[in-house]
């Protein structure tokens, strides 16, 4: 039996939401991880489907979902740092985000909008073709850069993501600092330019970056450069 890797996000939830601008009309595909980002989208009324290659993370998100259904906000927020997790500061920041603006109650009210894809699938090959062009936004976090995907180039991975998106759909990526461009990433697998299916949304990228810079200024344990792409 493996261990939970991520109990809380190590990104700024303010940044993620500033970059993706979730709303009630959205259908968002989100990496599960700790579930923090996916739950934050629910506060804005979005419909969210989460995936992950790690069944332990999917089970963790399911447990947190049940806490919310039962109105057990304390247990939902009762996360501890894990081996790959985040600093105490970032965990506290995540808790503060959920406690503000009545978000916990809003998430609870929209909890049925969250679907968990329980099979640890590869989103590029296992999602049926009738899902193509149905998502308005994708939260891909840092997984493209932390692990790669079957040795594929970042260009090819993004091209596959584009098939899942509606026109003008968004993808949110967290690039490890000091990287600011996909082609700067030299490790694990070949990088590559942003495919022609996308262009950078400079305005949303900057809005997200403001929050991540604030987070890094207070806590130097991690540093992310958000990148928001729009399907053209």
CATH of residue 45's domain is: 3.40.50.150
pLDDT at res. 186: 44
Domain membership flag for residue 6: no
- In 3-state terms the chain splits into helix, strand, coil percentages (rounded to 5) of 40, 20, 40
* Mean pLDDT value across residues 211-224: 86
Block residue for tokens 């049925």: 112
Domain membership flag for residue 147: yes
Domain membership flag for residue 8: no
Domain membership flag for residue 135: yes
Cis peptide bond prior to 158, omega within 30° of 0: no
Cβ-Cβ contacts under 8 Å for 176 (sequence gap 6 or more): 142, 145, 146, 185, 223, 224, 225
Domain membership flag for residue 2: no
How far from each other are the two terminal CA atoms of the chain, in whole angstroms? 43
Cβ-Cβ contacts under 8 Å for 100 (sequence gap 6 or more): none
Count of the separate structural domains present in the chain: 1
152 pLDDT higher than 90? no
Burial of residue 147 (CB within 10 Å: 0-12, 13-18, 19+) is exposed
- The predicted-structure confidence for 83-128, as pLDDT tens digits, reads as follows 555 688 889 999 999 999 999 999 999 999 999 986 655 555 566 6
User: Which range marks the domain in which residue 136 is found?
Assistant: 13-231
Q: DSSP 3-state assignment of 120?
A: coil
Domain membership flag for residue 7: no
140 pLDDT higher than 60? yes
Domain membership flag for residue 1: no
Domain membership flag for residue 119: yes
168 pLDDT higher than 60? yes
Predicted model pTM: 0.90
């Amino acid at each position: 039996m493996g261990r939970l890797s991520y109990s809380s996000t190590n990104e700024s939830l303010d940044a993620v939401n500033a970059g993706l601008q979730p709303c009630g009309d959205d259908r968002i595909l989100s990496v599960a991880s700790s579930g923090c980002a996916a739950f934050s989208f629910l506060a804005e009324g979005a419909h969210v489907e989460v995936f992950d290659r790690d069944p332990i993370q999917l089970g963790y998100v399911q447990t947190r979902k049940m806490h919310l259904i039962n109105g057990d906000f304390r247990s939902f927020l009762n996360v501890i740092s894990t081996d790959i997790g985040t600093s105490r500061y970032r965990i506290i920041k995540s808790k503060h985000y959920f406690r503000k603006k009545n978000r916990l109650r809003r998430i609870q009210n929209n909890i049925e909008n969250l679907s968990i894809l329980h099979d640890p699938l590869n989103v590029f090959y296992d999602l049926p073709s009738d899902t193509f062009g149905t998502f308005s936004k994708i939260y891909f976090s840092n997984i493209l850069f932390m692990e790669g995907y079957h040795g594929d180039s970042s260009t090819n991975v993004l091209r596959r993501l584009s098939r899942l998106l509606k026109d003008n759909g968004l993808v949110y990526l967290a690039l490890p600092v000091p990287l600011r461009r996909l082609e700067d990433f030299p490790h694990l697998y070949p990088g590559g330019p942003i495919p022609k299916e996308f262009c950078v949304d400079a305005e949303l990228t900057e809005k997200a970056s403001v929050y991540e810079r604030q987070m890094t200024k207070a806590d130097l344990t991690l540093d992310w450069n958000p990148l928001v792409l729009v399907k053209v």
